[in-house]
Chain A
Amino acid sequence: MKKRSNSLMIVPMLLMLSGCGSWPVKNSIIEEISPTILLYVDRGADKHLEQATLIPPLREEKKRMITANVRLMKEGRIQLNQKYYREMKSGQLRMLFISKRLAREDLLPIVNTMMLDPEISDRLYLIVVEGDFLAYLNQQVEKQQEMIDFYLYKMLAHYERQGEITVTNLHRFMEAYFSPYADPQMPLFTANGTDLIYEGTALFRDGKMVGEITALDDTLFQILNRPTRFQKSLPLPERGVTLGSLHTETKVTVQPTGDVKIYIEGTGRVEEYQGERDLNQPEAAQQLTRELEAVLEQKAALLVKKLQQLRIDPLRIGERTLGPFSQPYTEEAWKAAWPTMPVHVDVHLRLESLGLLKMKR
């Protein structure tokens, strides 16, 4: 009885499966496809999107770059596909490099396309590149640096955990974009012929890149951006000092009066000193500490001022106004109030091993 009913079930099952014609599953045999790791998008002439990717991601064949010139994001995928003998898949797409030119326009349609594709993970890293990225990739391939896409991915994954530089992904970008009290940010790299250099942070307002923070300001931006942070070294060339192993705690509060108070407490040591003071004297060391605090305070204040002038709040200071039972600023009220809010920065440094620097003059 049992056997007969089992066979009875299987027959209509098979009939239905084949009859509905619904079994042509897309095949993804790894030898036949080409899962790309990076994609580069640029705005070309005539409103076209220029896309480029490195193929193949596996090592056996000779690596090369292919490009497409299209109107729509996904159109590019078709064109890239047609140029290459293997089908391209985006399931392993890890990085989207966006040219600065394109980032200055509205980026949302492009980022949104990436969101909509269920194959693409929300962890897709987003990077803004200035300069000729294609030339850089080409050169890397020519130099037999064939795993460059993989290395770039590893670099971003490393710094995502480490927190030394800005790293953002699709999810973080979208979350900040939609949040009423935040604005998105992306890492900014410059490509020249031979190198890809981290420049700093690209700042966005409503999906458009409006500014950037570079050089030392970027380190300061990272410190302000996280409640606790460890900075391996913070050079301050104008004072001839490098602070090392700097552990910072940042507290941002918004007073009911509308004043923003930023308090940074840092513990670290002086790792390099090229100044005039004799740091063996506790008074001189104390003086230097006060001076450094003043410098950092001034730099941080200028940085926040710059953000206010750009009318953006990537530091999420607006979120600090919220309480479990209160919301003093609505989205519109915050956007209106933020650019003119008075900001007070207070830096407190505790530096160790000052006396160990024995300067003989």
Chain B
Amino acid sequence: MKSSSLFAHDKPLQPWMWAVLVNRMQVGYFMLILPNVLVQPYMVWIILLAGCLALLNLWVIGKGLEASYQQHETEGWRPFMGSVWMRVLMVPCLVIMLLKLTIVVKGYVGIVHQILFPSVNTGTFIVLMMFAGYYLAKHGMWTVLRFGVIAFLMSAWILVLYGYFLLPPEANYSHLYPIIPLQWPSHWLESLLFVWAAFAGPEYFVVLGPWTGGKPLTKYFLAGHVVSLFEYVYFFFVSLLFFGSPYLKTVDIALIQLVRYIQLPFFERVEMIVVPAYMAPVVLVIALLMLYVYGALRILLKRIRKPPHAGGLFMVFLAVGGYLLIVDRWLWTSEIQRRMWEQLQMVVGGASFALTPALFLVLHAMQSRRRKSEKAQ
């Protein structure tokens, strides 16, 4: 494969793959810790509320993508990539992406360390994850996006596994009562923000217009999101039925704890398979974000005219890998620091998700200004 094809977009993706991609981008580390944040049964309304708001947001993003790429004469962001404003914009974008990468990688690596290999240090896993991400990213954006389907197939079957906890004696349905809040819930705003941030992820598709082939994708976006919403409610209910709110509060990562309880007649340590299966969506996010980081750096450093090549991507991987190792070593070592990172991602990720529709307005304004200036010439 030629290295210049990293960002090749001669073939568009099939529309249904976008639904899968949206779904896998939304189910990450935050989904795993969600039950422990929400705890009370009535918080299910918060999930539904945030889900509906995110649905609206996704609708705007989908429509924006359609509008900005449907006409063949405009090529989305491409014409503006050299401008100063664009380069300035890349700085906050890089910060947002690095933060998301930190949460995704470090969160997952933490789980692997805690459950599967407590005697291996977390740095090793970070290196391995980054290596897997590089291997995938090297094949180019098109392959990475198509990997979404594999990530889905590798991790979605876990849903079926949790079905075991829907039936008594493991499920105690009185844990769901009362399902309406009897007094005004105290942390509702924070929880809402958290769920909103958990639904973030599809905002990264804003610049993927060239891979859409100009097809209308809004309904696929929404379909993917509705599936994620279902998964959130499902996982939340399953952990509540099993633990009950007072116990759930004390459990570290309820969903993994649940998997550890399953004992198949022929195989007992199911988490040995389930935890690695979650690696597929994590690698997808790493590869995708790293391509973004590479792209953003090219814009920032004015390298946009030169063809992208794998060597550059590798350098970016080395740098980000080093950054993650530093985070792992010094900046994310205790529970308090973990909370801090999560809070940070909650605010930053949530804000970037909420502000994405505004980007389309900016794009629209820039496009119309360009058209005007072209006409003037």
Contacts and interface: CB of A to CB of B under 8 A. Distances in A.
Contact of A122 (B117, B131, B180, B260): B260
Contact of A175 (B247, B260, B263, B310): B247
Given A1-B3, A22-B121, A179-B246, A16 B127 contact: yes
Given A20-B124, A122-B261, A324-B179, A178 B174 contact: no
Contacts of B127: 13, 16-17, 20
12 contacts: A1-B2, A9-B135, A12-B318, A20-B127, A24-B119, A121-B260, A122-B257, A178-B247, A319-B172, A323-B177, A324-B180, A327-B177
Given A20-B124, A22-B123, A5 B138 contact: yes
Interface string B113-124: 011011111011
B178 A178 contact: no
Which bracket fits the contact residues of B? Answer: 35 or more
Contacts, number: 85
Contacts of B174: 181, 316, 319-320, 322
A325 B178 CA distance: 5
A255 interface: no
Interface string B260-298: 110100001000000000000000000000000000000
B185 interface: no
A179 B119 contact: no
A261 interface: no
A20 B123 contact: yes
B314 interface: yes
B92 interface: no
Interface string A10-22: 0011001100101
Interface string B196-232: 0000000000000000000000000000000000000
Interface string A172-184: 0011011111000
B76 to A, nearest CB: 30
List 6 tightest A-B contacts by C-beta distance, closest first: A178-B247, A322-B177, A26-B119, A319-B174, A178-B246, A22-B121
B236 interface: no
A326 interface: yes
Interface of B: 1-3, 114-115, 117-121, 123-124, 127, 131, 134-135, 138, 172, 174, 176-180, 182, 242-244, 246-247, 250, 257, 260-261, 263, 268, 310-311, 314, 318
A179 B247 contact: yes
B32 to A, nearest CB: 15
Given A16-B127, A17-B127, A179 B244 contact: yes
A327 B177 CA distance: 8
B178 A5 contact: no
A309 B308 CA distance: 78
Which of B121, B176, B318 has the largest count of A CB atoms less than 10 A from its CB? B121
B178 A327 contact: yes
A23 interface: yes
Given A13-B127, A25-B119, A175-B243, 16 more contacts: A2-B1, A5-B310, A5-B311, A9-B314, A16-B127, A24-B119, A25-B120, A123-B263, A178-B246, A316-B174, A319-B172, A322-B174, A322-B178, A324-B177, A324-B179, A325-B180
A344 interface: no
A8 interface: yes
A305 B174 CA distance: 24
Contacts of A180: 246
A319 B318 CA distance: 55
A320 B347 CA distance: 40
A220 to B, nearest CB: 19
A178 B244 contact: yes
B260 A178 contact: no
Given A16-B127, A175-B244, A178-B250, A118 B178 contact: no
B115 A323 contact: no
A5 B180 contact: no
A9 B178 contact: no
B154 to A, nearest CB: 23
B243 A9 contact: no
A122 to B, nearest CB: 5
Interface in A23-61: 23-26
Nearest to B176: A324
B261 A13 contact: no
Nearest to B243: A175
A2 B180 CA distance: 59
A181 B246 CA distance: 11
A171 interface: yes
A121 B261 contact: yes
A17 B124 contact: yes
B296 to A, nearest CB: 22
B124 A118 contact: no
Contacts of B314: 5, 8-9
Contacts of A175: 172, 242-244, 247
B121 A118 contact: no
Contacts of B121: 20, 22
A34 B236 CA distance: 38
A2 B140 CA distance: 13
